Amino acid sequence: MLKIGVLASGGGTNLQALIDAIESKSLAAEIAAVISGNPAAYALERAKRHDIMSYYVKKGSYTAQDDYDKALADIFNRHGVDLVVLAGFLPILGPAFIREFERRVINIHPSLIPAFCGKGYYGIKVHEAALASGVKVTGATVHFVDEGTDSGPIILQKAVEVKDGDTPESLQRRVMEEAEWILLPKAVGMFAEGLLK
């Protein structure tokens, strides 16, 4: 069975979508470990509630990016992780981590890449930018992670309508409900079935 390692910094609703898909048997995989760089991340609490090994790794404790990358990779390797999922993870991962898990790291981003992505676009900021630009459609993207920011090959995308009167928060919620929580388990399932090249 595919073993997943999840990196999450925030609320962990995408982690929860994976947990739910696994528990309802619509996704044949196991979450082997969850790592956060934020000790207060609710994602860690979700992991604990579902008996998933969880770790807090403080980036500030490492002076070199390579050492930080190695610390994260060591945890996942110890758990025999096959696929790493970035589910709202803020710290930058360096080339040492990406190379260790080459073509085995995927990310969920809350826009239709190449719109509203790259440096500085994360979480609510993405939805603020979408509303400021006046687009009528946004969405979410699951993509492989390469050494750039939001630049790896796209796996799945889903469009979501922007409605009159949306706030960044209401748009974020709709993008999560209508796109992210569906796309992420689906992409992991496709990886598990060997459908992704």
Active-site residues: which are they? 109
Q: Are 65 and 94 in contact (CB under 8 A)?
A: yes
Query: Strand locations in 53-153, DSSP E?
Result: 54-56, 83-86, 105-109, 137-144
CB of 135 to ligand GAR, least distance (A): 17
Judged by CB under 6 A, which of 87, 113, 145, 162 binds ligand GAR? 87
Which residue from 188, 189, 108, 94 is spatially nearest to 150, judged by alpha carbons?
108
Q: x/- string (CB under 6 A) for ligand GAR, residues 15-54? A: ----------------------------x-----------
Beta strand pairing call for 29-36 and 54-56: parallel
**Sheet order of strands, 54-56 included:** 54-56, 29-36, 2-7, 83-86, 105-109, 137-144, 154-161
Q: Does the footprint of ligand GAR cover residue 109 (CB under 6 A)?
A: yes
Say if residue 114 is preceded by a cis peptide, omega within 30 of 0. yes
Selected range binding ligand GAR among 44-52, 105-113, 130-138, 161-169, rule: CB under 6 A: 105-113
Q: Which range touches ligand GAR (CB under 6 A), out of 9-17, 45-53, 62-70, 160-168?
A: 9-17
- Which residues have a Cβ under 8 Å from the Cβ of 58 and sit 6 or more positions away? 37, 39
φ, ψ for residue 146, nearest 5 deg: -115, -160
**Given candidates 37, 88, 152, 185, which one binds ligand GAR under the rule CB under 6 A?**
88
Q: Does 11 bind ligand GAR (CB under 6 A)?
A: yes
Q: Quick check: 110 binds ligand GAR (CB under 6 A)?
A: yes
> Strand 83-86 and strand 54-56: pairing?
unpaired
Which residue in 69, 82, 100, 180 binds ligand GAR (CB under 6 A)?
180
Query: How many residues interact with ligand GAR (rule CB under 6 A)?
Result: 17
65 or 149: whose CB is closer to ligand GAR? 149
Q: How far apart are CA 192 and CA 98, in angstroms?
A: 19
Kindly identify the residues of this chain, within the stretch 139-178, that bind ligand GAR according to CB under 6 A: 176
For position 69 contacting ligand GAR by CB under 6 A, the verdict is no
Query: Would you tell me which residues interact with ligand GAR (CB under 6 A)?
Result: 8, 10-14, 43, 87-88, 108-110, 122-123, 126, 176, 180
